[in-house]
Amino acid sequence: MELLAKSGFVGYVIFLLSIITLGVFLERVFSLNRFYRKVKKHGFKPEIRKIIESVGIQSIEVIENLLSIKGSMIIADCEKGVGFIRLASSIAPLLGLLGTVIGMIEAFHNVAGSGYNVNPAQLANGIWTALLTTAEGLCVAIPAYFGYFYLTNLIEKIELALKEDMEEVLIEVYGDRVQKEKR
């Protein structure tokens, strides 16, 4: 907490960003992992069949469009919050840099105010304090970046399972017509 207090207002903003990012990441990890386990166990096939039955046997193109819309809605739901994590991984180092610049301005302002009695320790302390925010920003950005890629990889697995199930159900329902119409 002492380091946080030394890093000033920007340090508190970075700390708040880290807490929010961690919360969003944990919520997404638990939700997406639970959803992925459900998908692996049951798949999307029952829901896909229900969509096909609700509209009746129509052209494959109409069914594919409906399934594509439904798939887009599922993926959009999975992606909620993931953009914020990517934003946090980008903005945290910039906030750290801002804190460093503010700290350096303060350090040199203090040195300039002391006239000819420049104390190197005073300057070093100001620079040390300024660099804390850079480190804090990187400590938020790096894990957030890894978290973002973990979540996008999980979403890609869900999307792949969805596409595979759609293809299989279309082949089950329409048989050879699927292959012919796609050519």
pLDDT tier at 183, thresholds 50, 70, 90: very low
CA–CA separation, 16 vs 161, rounded Å? Answer: 36
Question: Which pLDDT score is estimated for 176?
Answer: 63
The answer to which of 15-29, 63-77, 99-113, 153-167 has the lowest mean pLDDT is 99-113
Residue 181 has pLDDT above 50, yes or no: yes
CA–CA separation, 4 vs 12, rounded Å? Answer: 7
**pTM, 2 dp:** 0.82
pLDDT in tens, 32-89: 999 999 988 888 888 888 888 887 766 778 888 888 898 999 999 999 999 999 999 9
Question: Which pLDDT score is estimated for 117?
Answer: 77
- 119 secondary structure, DSSP code: -
CA–CA separation, 181 vs 59, rounded Å? Answer: 10
Minimal CA–CA distance to 118: which of 127, 108, 130, 104? 108
Residue range 157-163: mean pLDDT, rounded: 93
CA–CA separation, 133 vs 9, rounded Å? Answer: 10
